Amino acid sequence: MRTIKIKTASAEYPVYVGSGLLKDLYRKLPKQRRIFVLTSPEIWGLWSKRFLASFPPNAQPVTLFLPPGEQQKRMAQVERLATELSDAGADRGSILIAFGGGIVGDLGGFLAAIYMRGMDYVQIPSTLLAQVDSSVGGKTGVNLTTGKNLVGSFHHPLAVYADVDLLQTLPERELRAGLFESIKAGVIRDAKLFRFMERHRPEVLGRDTQALEHVIAASIRMKAEVVGLDERESGLRMILNFGHTLGHAIEAVTHYRKLLHGEAIAWGMIAAVHLAKARKTVTPEEAARISAVIHSYGPLPPFRASAQKLVEATGRDKKNRFGVRRFILPVGIGDSQVIEDVTDAELFSASQWMLNQARKA
């Protein structure tokens, strides 16, 4: 097991990466506190026996369920689940375990942040995307009809358990979607991780335990370093949104039904790399190399959208400040920067180019 420390101005907690972490879960939780679990019916059906095996008969957790799908990541579900917590007697001394993918983790963290003005919670991410990205860093939230994650809070977990065993039942498409986030980590700040994924694609996609642990741990270390330097996304942390400005726009205009989150981010990265090449922050060779690695972890599903609607959707991005659009571009491989002068024309051109690629996929 690998242990990675997250240390920010307001919190410090461990992220555990390894196999068989569920069997020791109860022993590592604070004792004499009521435990509640938020999960999805699918995850609970696969893993409930192993999850509950570590809990003694007199300390079995209360289980809450969130239906699957991005459309469930809404305030209505938060209110329903908060009411269920209240009905079951949860108080500020209770602990909520978010056991599932990124949607469960984001909504569960937000629920913990606001229930009785804050309760402790633990993240047990069941997807690769959640393990390498959304479970770490304290960002929680839900969607509005106008955009993704527009309502939320910073609320760090007590701990994160990234159990690689959970990935063995992950559908192939979900695995690949998560790997796009690790490619992102390599492009923006960790050239060694990028090279590892470039050279060890067969082992990673083959779910080799050591290869997956390496990718997950490296991705988390990179994010831990960035979050430690900029907890509240006032500057450096924005680089973690490489590919997300257009990726979130793609999700919004396709009503969250066409692509998985990681797939939308991959298309967003491809558009951003095209823009970076036009601005000469990367060489044509570097742009081709980044795009090739992204596509090699595909296939990326095709989709159709309007470039104009994508540009309009980026106007509601959370990174924007005072009406200024902020966009993340790679600077070579392993470095990146926040750009504040990307024009609508540039973004339209990159979006149109990306859409042409998406139609051919």
Indicate which residues carry an active-site annotation.
117, 139, 181, 223, 233, 237, 241, 244, 248, 261
How far is it, in rounded angstroms, from Cα 95 to Cα 66?
Answer: 17
Other CB atoms within 10 Å distance of the CB of residue 299: 11
Q: Which of 92, 166, 156 is nearest to 129 (CA)?
A: 166
Residue 74 corresponds to which tokens in the numbers above? 């809404």
Q: Which of 42, 123, 49, 119 is nearest to 85 (CA)?
A: 119
Q: Which of 227, 164, 230, 223 is nearest to 190 (CA)?
A: 223
Backbone φ, ψ for residue 266 (5° rounding): -60, -45
State the burial class of residue 139 (Cβ atoms within 10 Å of its Cβ: 0-12, 13-18, 19+).
buried
Q: Which of 214, 220, 228, 262 is nearest to 102 (CA)?
A: 262
Backbone φ, ψ for residue 55 (5° rounding): -95, 130
Question: With the C-alpha atoms ordered 215, 271, 229, 119, is the resulting torsion angle positive or negative?
Answer: negative
Buried b (16+ CB within 10 A) or exposed e, 156-185: bbbbbbbbbebbeebeeebbbbbbbbbbbb
